[in-house]
Amino acid sequence: MTAPPGDRRRVAVIGAGWAGCTAALELARRGLAVTVYEQARMPGGRARRVLLDGVPVDNGQHLLLGAYGECLRAIAQVHGADAGAPALLRLPLALQPWGRQPGAVRLTAWRAPAPWHLAGALVGARGLRLGARYALAASLLRLRRDPAAIPATATVADWFRDLPRAAFDGIVAPLCVAALNTLPEEASARVFAKVLDTALGGSRADSDFLVPTTDLSSLLPEPALRQVAAQGGELRLGAAAQVTASAADGVTVEVEGHSEIFSDVVVAVGPHQLAQALGARPADLPGCRAALAMAGAFAYEPIVTVYLGFRAPVAMTAPVMRLDDRPGQWLFDRHGGSSTTWPAGTATMLAVVISAHGAHQRMEREALAVAVEAQLRRLEPGLPAVTWARVITERRATYACTPGLARPAPGRLAPGIHLAGDYTDAEFPATLEAAVRSGRAAAVGVLEARAAADVRSA
């Protein structure tokens, strides 16, 4: 179907990740006819459900923060006002080691108003000497009071270089890797400071960990797209779309050899897919050319998730716990999944996450699964037998969040062409919060451009 020029209600969104789904829903709610194109068969982009041997799991385990306001608002919108509790499990900020880790740092925020919840966490911390706790508190206060003092070229390791090693290795490094998916020696201190200030500088609830109790596609992309369809929109899965022209009478999108014309297009693909989504003519427009140049300079970081099923229950005192980084970093209890979908004889499903690059990338999947199982048995002897083991690697899970990295801004690239994606958010690293924020920003850009065009034609 080819829409005639001048059909100003039609808007396309290329990419059904969290940014694209957010943009599509915002536009559909404003009365626009939205068509969403997604080349994969499952919406969600780099945070989606996958099937392994018929078992539904995520392509990577994600942890949200209570301060991720835009993301939480979007989830509440698609699930209903009172659906936040079943969709997300809220936990106080905690670093709790799993199994036998003598000397490991243990820290849990108190259930008290800010800033006493963090003061209590430091007072009650285990595995840190009193001097290290004071030094950590002083470093965090200095970071919050004068974030502008952080040099643009500083890494997290640079900024915290005077911190006692126990505090750095036990608290700062794991939080940095979890938040930025980049090693502290390479990660931007300024971006890390923004995450810490957002999570620790507000209310007590802002520092909470939020663990999805459902798969990631069900958490936001699928219900968002159902609402888009209910508003008269359309979802085309398995359809690779490319913008081929931008003109005064609309933007041309080519899909499977056919061209369609829309008044506006939101390009919400990953940065490594941007060149594919923009054809030769649009790519030569100044705004598109600049965005492509910035995206072309990105390096990428992986996230590896090892899923292990066990024949009997495995005790965990919290749904998210720290490992000793040899090689697994975090352990998640996949209690939210339905045991009816697990492999036969499986009573417990655990997910072990390894973020950023490292020696584990040189291991074959089977060898890595064996190494992670050995790690868990070393930390907790007597574990039940493993019934199922699978490894998922998202090779370009995020861009490497390095100091001074230039990123394109969300919104208008060229007439009728708008950009969204977690890599376009100026403040946050590549997180679900950044994706949702960028999707909203792109939708606002579309609406503002249309309003300006209406004024000019009046």
The pLDDT tens digits for 94-124 are: 999 999 999 999 999 998 898 889 999 998 9
Q: How many CA atoms lie within 13 A of 89 on its CB side?
A: 17
pLDDT at residue 341, rounded to an integer: 81
pLDDT at residue 83, rounded to an integer: 47
Closest CA to 268 of 409, 418, 395, 415: 418
Contact 35/2 with Cβ under 8 angstroms?
A: no
In angstroms, the CA 79 to CA 70 distance is 14
Report, as ranges of residue numbers, the positions in the chain whose pLDDT lies below 50.
Answer: 1-6, 82-84, 337
Q: Which fold has domain 300-399?
A: Polyamine Oxidase; Chain A, domain 2 (3.90.660)
The predicted-structure confidence for 314-360, as pLDDT tens digits, reads as follows: 999 999 999 999 999 999 998 754 566 889 899 999 999 999 999 99
CA 96 vs CA 103, 240, 435: distances in Å: 12, 43, 29
In angstroms, the CA 181 to CA 303 distance is 8
Identify any residues that bridge with 255 across adjacent strands, giving them in sequence order.
241, 258
In angstroms, the CA 352 to CA 192 distance is 23
Please report the beta strands in 320-454, taking only residues with DSSP state E, as ranges in sequence order: 320-322, 330-333, 348-355, 386-399, 411-414, 417-419
pLDDT at residue 453, rounded to an integer: 76
pLDDT at residue 328, rounded to an integer: 98
pLDDT at residue 339, rounded to an integer: 60
Q: Which two tokens stand for residue 113?
A: 């108003």
CA 58 vs CA 51, 109, 113, 217: distances in Å: 8, 28, 34, 8
Confidence (pTM): 0.94
Q: Which residue has the tokens 């100003």?
A: 8
Closest CA to 115 of 197, 232, 39, 42: 197
CATH architecture of 10-48+216-298+402-457: 3-Layer(bba) Sandwich (3.50)
Q: In degrees rounded to 5, what are phi and psi of residue 175?
A: -70, -35
Q: In degrees rounded to 5, what are phi and psi of residue 125?
A: -65, 140
Q: In degrees rounded to 5, what are phi and psi of residue 104?
A: -65, 150
Residue 212, helix vs strand vs coil: strand
148 CB neighbour count, 10 Å cutoff: 6
Closest CA to 198 of 221, 167, 175: 175
- What is the 8-class DSSP label of residue 4? P
21 CB neighbour count, 10 Å cutoff: 33
Contact 188/403 with Cβ under 8 angstroms?
A: yes
Distance of alpha carbon 261 from the chain centroid: 32
Radius of gyration of the chain (CA): 23
Q: Which residue has the tokens 């078992």?
A: 55
Residue 319, helix vs strand vs coil: coil
Domain 10-48+216-298+402-457 identical in fold to domain 300-399: no
Closest CA to 38 of 360, 372, 250, 267: 267
Any idea of the CA torsion for 58, 332, 210, 440, to the nearest 10 degrees? -20
CA 339 vs CA 58, 175, 248: distances in Å: 15, 31, 54
pLDDT at residue 115, rounded to an integer: 86
- What is the 8-class DSSP label of residue 59? S
Q: Where are the domains of the chain?
A: 10-48+216-298+402-457, 93-207, 300-399
pLDDT at residue 451, rounded to an integer: 85
Does residue 45 come out as left (phi exceeding 0), alpha (psi in the -120 to 50 range) or beta? left
**Nearby residues of 338 by Cβ (< 8 Å), 6 or more positions away:** none
CA 109 vs CA 96, 106, 211, 320: distances in Å: 11, 10, 16, 14
